Amino acid sequence: MRRALLIVKIVLALLAASFLYYTLPRHDVARITGTEVIRQDLSSWNRLFHAGADAGNAANATRDLRLVNGQRLTPWLFGLFTAGEQTIVYRNEDTGWDWPPYFKFDSADVQARAQDLTSTAEAPRWVVVTRYGIRSRLLSIYPNATAVRAIPDDRPADQRATPPDVRIIPWFNIVFFIALAVIWGFLRAAWRGLVRKADDDADPAAPRRGWLARLFRR
């Protein structure tokens, strides 16, 4: 029984981690190589990994999809370090009022900004792409770019072939996990309090203890 319960906990933990990995924002240091609009057929496999139609448009099984092509610095160790370049394709869709709650309505503006920041390997312009989601070539799934901003670079033009030294701190994710830990601790303490109260009510002969005595009891 304990082994089965442990397996259930592990599965639930993996599902929760996968959900957060897909939903929470991440940041890529990249250079944009081009933008395009393709006609995308949404199947039952990849429909869940695409946002709805742009705000004001009807939702159809086939629709135009904005893409932003680029070369990003390959992240490792949870994005704290980067090494080498990796081809990446982002989709650029409005999330509207749907999940995840990014409330993105400016996909056209993001596309225009990405086009303006397009560069070549000989004269790169490095940008930070804020996005969520995953890339799957098998299922035609793309991470959704929610924002694009240029990285200020004061170096001479002949030194810009390599990316500038920039370290992005994911403040939102840090605050989110701290808040999640606080809420989890509060709920766990409240649940234990309810269980102890139920045990005390079930055994009227048990001596009554104050909260301080229960806190330090052995």
Chain centroid to Cα 143, Å, comes to 9
Whether the Cβ atoms of residue 28 and residue 111 lie closer than 8 Å to each other: no
Q: How far is CA 91 from CA 15, 38, 56, in A?
A: 24, 10, 18
169-172 — which CB contacts under 8 Å span 24+ positions? 170/25, 170/26, 170/27, 170/79, 172/24, 172/25
Residue 2 confidence class, pLDDT cut points 50, 70, 90: confident
CA atoms within 13 A on the CB side of 174: 4
Residue-wise pLDDT for 35-91, tens only, equals: 999 988 777 667 777 776 655 555 666 788 999 999 998 866 655 566 678 999 999
Per-residue b/e over 126-152, b at no fewer than 16 CB within 10 Å? Answer: bbebbbbbebeeeebbbbbbbbbeebe
Whether the Cβ atoms of residue 113 and residue 107 lie closer than 8 Å to each other: no
Whether the Cβ atoms of residue 132 and residue 26 lie closer than 8 Å to each other: yes
Amino acid in position 197: K
Among candidate residues 145, 118, 130, 121, the one with its CA nearest the CA of residue 29: 130
- Token readout for 59 is 């939702």
User: What pLDDT does residue 140 have?
Assistant: 85
* pLDDT mean over 145-173: 87
User: What pLDDT does residue 20 have?
Assistant: 95
User: What pLDDT does residue 1 have?
Assistant: 75
Residue-wise pLDDT for 90-149, tens only, equals: 999 999 888 899 999 999 999 999 999 999 988 899 999 999 999 998 888 999 999 999
User: What pLDDT does residue 13 have?
Assistant: 94
What is the model's pTM?
0.80
9, containing H or E segment? helix 2-23
